[in-house]
Structure formats: structure tokens, C-alpha cells
């Protein structure tokens, strides 16, 4: 295990979660659908907790959460860009369009977040001693929530787009109804959507 790069992963993970709080806060200004609003409120609360979890993990590993790295700056830049995208959509004054931009922004943010946590899980399995213990504890706490954030929002994004195209949408999306927590489950839910129309 390359310790420096594991540290980099954790700095990026923290920055992703911090950006996630901003992304969800802005997305909640864009949301129109009441069920989705409830989902995103829950995800915002969980993401705020993930910030704390990464900070606690860093403390256990003796890392300073304020440490700046070039990679972390890139993650911050992407988060800020997603927030700006939603603000642009809000300014255009079309609520349904802004909601779509928000949903897409969350999918982009959560794709990175999901990757981070997957890698933290992989590292936890290979690391030793206190590092493994700290990573494992954090990973176990967030894993299921990260799966939901990504796969359920992907479902929402697809169905809301379908609705705006004037076609019949499955709302809430099958990913949410079937409580999907895996990529295979998400593929199955998407495949089964026509049966739910
Ligand atoms: Fe997260």
C-alpha cells in the first residue's frame, strides 16, 4: 500500500463530502418533486455525517483535514462548478429544467463519492493494524448510504428526463422502490421499469 496515495484518497474523499453538502444544499433549491425533496433532505443529512466520519478517520490516522493537495483542489473546483451549474439553471427560471440539472449534478458528485468509498473499502481490506481498523469502521458506516445516493438518484434522473420528454415515467423510480444497493440491482431495476408502467 502506498501510504501517500492513501492519504491523498482521504483528502479527496473529505473534499468530495464537503462539496456534496454544497451540492445537496443547492439541489434542494432546485427540487420540485416532493418525494425527491424528501430523499435529498435525507442524503444531505447523511452527507453532513460523512464529512464528520472522514474527519474522524483522518484524526485516527494522524492526518490534518486542512492539508491542501493539487488533487483536492480539482475535486473542490468540480464541486463548485456543479453548484454554479444549478445556479445558472435556477436563473433561467424553468423549475423542471433546474431540477434536472440538480439531479445530474448529484449523479456526477456521487459517482466520485462512490468511487472514493469503494477504494477506501479496498484499502481497508489490504491495509494492516490501526489503519485497516479505522478505514473499515468508516466504510461500514457509509457504504449502504453511498450506494443509495448514487443508484437512486440515477433512477430519479432518468425518470424525470423521461417525464419531461412527455413519456410515461416510473415515479418514484424502481431503484428507490426496490431499495437498490448494487450496480447489478440498478441494472435490473432499469430493465424492469417497463413492467412497472
Ligand atoms: Fe457521501
**What residues sit around ligand 1, an ion, with C-beta below 5 angstroms?**
47, 50, 113
Confidence of residue 156 (pLDDT cuts 50, 70, 90): very high
- Please classify residue 191 by burial: count the beta carbons closer than 10 Å to its beta carbon, then call 0-12 exposed, 13-18 middle and 19+ buried: exposed
Q: What's residue 20's pLDDT?
A: 98
Q: What's residue 35's pLDDT?
A: 97
CA of 45 to the centre of ligand 1 (A): 10
Over residues 178-182, the mean pLDDT reads 93
The DSSP 8-state label assigned to residue 68 in this structure reads: -
CA of 50 to the centre of ligand 1 (A): 5
- Per-residue model confidence as pLDDT tens digits over 20-35: 999 999 999 999 999 9
CA of 197 to the centre of ligand 1 (A): 31
pLDDT for 194 beyond 90: no
CA of 191 to the centre of ligand 1 (A): 26
CA of 167 to the centre of ligand 1 (A): 32
Q: What's residue 80's pLDDT?
A: 98
- Per-residue model confidence as pLDDT tens digits over 55-102: 999 999 999 999 999 999 999 999 999 999 999 999 999 999 999 999
Over residues 42-51, the mean pLDDT reads 98
pLDDT for 197 beyond 90: no
CA of 4 to the centre of ligand 1 (A): 22
Contacts of 49 (CB under 8 A, 6+ apart): none
Give the residue among 191, 189, 168 at the shortest CA–CA distance from 177.
189
Q: What's residue 195's pLDDT?
A: 86
CA of 166 to the centre of ligand 1 (A): 33
Contacts of 187 (CB under 8 A, 6+ apart): none
The mean predicted confidence, pLDDT, of the chain is: 97
Residue 114 C-alpha cell reads as 462512490
CA of 75 to the centre of ligand 1 (A): 14
Residue written as grid cell 489490504: 126
Amino acid at each position: 500500500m502506498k501510504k501517500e496515495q492513501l492519504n491523498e484518497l482521504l483528502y479527496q474523499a473529505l473534499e468530495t463530502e464537503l462539496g456534496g453538502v454544497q451540492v445537496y444544499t443547492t439541489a434542494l433549491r432546485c427540487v420540485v418533486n416532493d418525494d425527491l425533496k424528501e430523499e435529498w433532505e435525507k442524503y444531505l443529512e447523511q452527507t453532513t455525517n460523512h464529512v464528520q466520519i472522514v474527519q474522524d478517520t483522518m484524526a485516527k490516522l494522524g492526518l490534518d483535514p486542512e492539508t491542501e493537495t493539487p488533487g483536492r483542489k480539482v475535486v473542490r473546483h468540480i464541486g463548485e462548478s456543479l453548484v454554479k451549474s444549478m445556479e445558472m439553471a435556477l436563473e433561467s427560471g424553468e423549475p423542471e429544467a433546474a431540477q434536472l440539472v440538480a439531479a445530474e449534478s448529484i449523479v456526477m458528485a456521487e459517482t466520485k463519492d462512490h468511487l472514493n468509498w469503494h477504494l477506501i473499502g479496498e484499502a481497508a481490506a489490504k491495509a494492516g493494524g490501526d489503519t485497516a481498523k479505522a478505514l473499515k469502521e468508516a466504510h461500514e458506516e457509509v457504504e449502504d448510504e453511498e450506494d443509495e445516493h448514487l443508484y437512486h438518484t440515477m433512477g430519479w434522473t432518468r425518470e424525470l428526463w423521461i417525464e419531461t420528454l412527455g413519456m410515461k415515467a416510473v415515479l418514484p423510480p424502481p431503484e428507490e422502490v426496490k431499495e437498490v444497493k448494487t450496480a447489478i440491482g440498478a441494472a435490473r431495476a432499469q430493465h424492469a421499469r417497463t413492467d412497472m408502467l
